[in-house]
Amino acid sequence: MAGLIALSALCVVDFSSFCHPSDETVQLTTTLRNASQDREAVPMAATVPATGWEELTWRSLEDVEFKDVYVEELDAYYWKPTFGQSIEDLEGQDVYITGYMIPVDLDEDFYVLSRYPFANCFFCGGAGPESVVDLRFTGKSPRVYQTDERLTFAGKFRLNSDDVYQMNYILDGAVEYTP
């Protein structure tokens, strides 16, 4: 009986506020997304002449397809990526990308850069795995980053298609960057 009461109580709790934005946040996100899409109209990898870094856009990271693959060790399915040629060509390149900071685990110094703010990101089910990049700093991160800080990072671009415990896109040697 206690279990039924607890289940009933759980059913009436509105969890949507944890992952779904208010009307004001939706309006702000739409404005930011439109501005971001206007910015992404530049070529997929425009070379920055002064430094040699190439701009990596979120639109270019969409060149991937996912297939459900069963992982016996986890007794679960996960999305295995198959990267398009344009993404494979960027592996190992020095790139920079702008997005929203998401501190996944401060104790582990684990940060992810997202195409969308936290309320609409991959971790809330609002986007796919192609919309996040794992930031790997050399040593510890230089500071504690706040959720939804919009920043640009540069580093060496790496792909991951096999390790289910890592993101598909990784930026090794990540540093804050001003294009």
What SS3 state is found at 93?
A: coil
pLDDT band of residue 71 (cuts 50, 70, 90) is confident
Give the integer Cα–Cα distance in Å for 55 and 61.
12
What phi, psi does 69 have (nearest 5°)?
A: -130, 135
Q: pLDDT value at position 125?
A: 67
pLDDT digits (tens, 9 = 90+) for 82-102: 999 999 999 999 999 999 999
Give the integer Cα–Cα distance in Å for 171 and 153.
8
Q: pLDDT value at position 94?
A: 97
pLDDT digits (tens, 9 = 90+) for 116-136: 998 777 666 667 788 899 999
Is residue 127 within 8 A of residue 120, CB to CB? The reply is: yes
CATH number of 16-176: 2.40.50.140
pLDDT band of residue 73 (cuts 50, 70, 90) is confident
Please report, as a single letter, which amino acid is at residue 48: V
Please report, as a single letter, which amino acid is at residue 103: P
Query: Which sequence spans correspond to the domains of the chain?
Result: 16-176
**What average pLDDT is seen over the chain?**
76
What b/e string do you get for 40-61 counting C-beta neighbours within 10 Å, with b at 16 or more? Answer: beeebbeeeeeeebbbbbbebb
Rg, C-alpha atoms of the chain: 18
Tokens of 18: 């944890």
- What angle (nearest 5°) sits at the alpha carbon of residue 176, between those of residues 172 and 178? 125
